[in-house]
Amino acid sequence: MILLSHPTVNTFVRALVERLEREGMLGGFYTTLASGRRRVGVPGSRVHCHALREVVRLLASRGRLAWLTNHEAGWASVDAVYRDLDRWVSSRLEQATGVYCYEDGALETFTAAAERAIPRFYELPIAYWETSQRLLREEAVRLPDWEPTLYATRDSQAKLERKTRELALADLVICPSRFVQESLPVGTRSLVAEFGSPSVPLRTLTQGRDLGGPLRVLFAGSMSQRKGLADLFEAMKILGSPRAELIVMGSPVAPMNFYYDQYPQFRHEKPRVHEEFLGLMGTCDVLVLPSIVEGRALVQQEALSCGLPLIVTANAGGEDLIQEGETGFLVPIRNPQAIAERLGWFLKNRERLPGMRKAAQTMAARCSWQRYTDKIVAALGAIEGQGN
């Protein structure tokens, strides 16, 4: 039976937990909180919560008690929540025939499992740390004004060494994209299992968009240079067209005046609940995500599901989603000129948008959560069957 642990319940965790339960493979899901939006569709007897630090983290974030949540050092920091859950889970392996953990929350569990010869599965939602650190440190040199938005460059050596030890203990690494797989050290046993796409209410779809209005360009995500926002701002300056408008939906990681100093013409939209976010997408024409480092940004498939073609980098993890000129375009990282040229193509070819919207939705439909979990369940069964 598989013991799966993750401090939060996001879309891909929920999909896998519920699939393992349907297959009769779930020995237990270990997390911090599992109510409200974090609820999973499995019997309560399978869900085990270790909540204290996560509750304190949430309360401290709302109360602006930064000393409790400071990066790595705070008692209720994200890192502390991950480590605390990991320690707790590591002492609960008696009935496990396999353990499935995620980056930064696996070391103690994997160590205990290795002592018992229990197979260890490691899902890496973002590029391996050596690749991530190299790319982000290069960004800090290339665009020093944006360096404060690159939080991962502040990771301690101890945290990075922990990641290395986690990977070394894993029997199989599950990657959401080829970009993540290619970031792994040579010889790592790995599998690509692409995330699924959301189902989208019909009222959010973009088929009725007015082709005579401005080209509405959407960026969605943390307002960081890890996601290439500086390059998109520069591309909009190069494009210089009053017929294109930029909407940025996301949480700022710097004061808002910093962003407006970089490019004053964008419109900021705050994060919102999922259905409202999809509704915003339905008012736009193209998603641009020129990420430097990702795993597989789910926003790409959300956009495709809403009928938005993409302008993205391969490092956003969705290279397989792009059929050039049909579902969008790939651009190199760190290349505002290439982004501007593709945006210019959309301005000149507005009549292509209805066909591209249909192609985008067709592509999104190919990427299902069933396919994601099919690949993982098959791999879990194969390795468990080897008796490792």
Summarize pLDDT for 153-181 with one digit per residue, the tens: 889 999 999 999 999 999 999 999 999 99
Percentage of the chain modeled with pLDDT above 70: 96
Kindly give, in sequence order, each residue whose CB lies less than 8 Å from that of residue 165, ignoring residues fewer than 6 positions away: 107
pLDDT given for residue 304 in this prediction:
96
pLDDT surpassing 60 at residue 388:
no
Question: Considering the chain, what is the average pLDDT of its residues?
Answer: 94
pLDDT digits (tens, 9 = 90+) for 249-289: 999 999 999 999 999 999 999 999 888 998 999 999 999 99
The residue with greater pLDDT, 62 or 119, is 119
Residues of the chain with CATH 3.40.50.2000: 2-196+369-385, 202-366
SS (H, E, C) the chain: CEEEECCCCCHHHHHHHHHHHHCCCEEEEEECCCCHHHCCCCCHHHEEECCHHHHHHHHHHHCCCHHHHCCCCCCCCHHHHHHHHHHHHHCCCCCCCEEEEECCCCHHHHHHHHHCCCCEEEECCCCCHHHHHHHHHHHHHHCHHHHHHCHHHHCCHHHHHHHHHHHHHCCEEEECCHHHHHCCCCCCCEEECCCCCCCCCHHHCCCCCCCCCCEEEEEECCECHHHCHHHHHHHHHHHCCCCEEEEEECCECCCHHHHHHHCCCCEEECCCCHHHHHHHHCCCCEEEECCCCCCCCHHHHHHHHCCCCEEECHHHCCHHHCCECCCEEECCCCCHHHHHHHHHHHHHCHHHHHHHHHHHHHHHHHCCHHHHHHHHHHHHHHHHHCCC
| Average pLDDT, integer, range 3-16 | 96
pLDDT given for residue 261 in this prediction:
97
pLDDT digits (tens, 9 = 90+) for 171-220: 999 999 999 999 999 999 999 999 999 877 655 554 456 677 899 999 99
CATH level 3 topology of 2-196+369-385: Rossmann fold (3.40.50)
Which CATH superfamily does the domain covering 202-366 fall into?
Answer: Glycogen Phosphorylase B; (3.40.50.2000)
pLDDT given for residue 102 in this prediction:
98
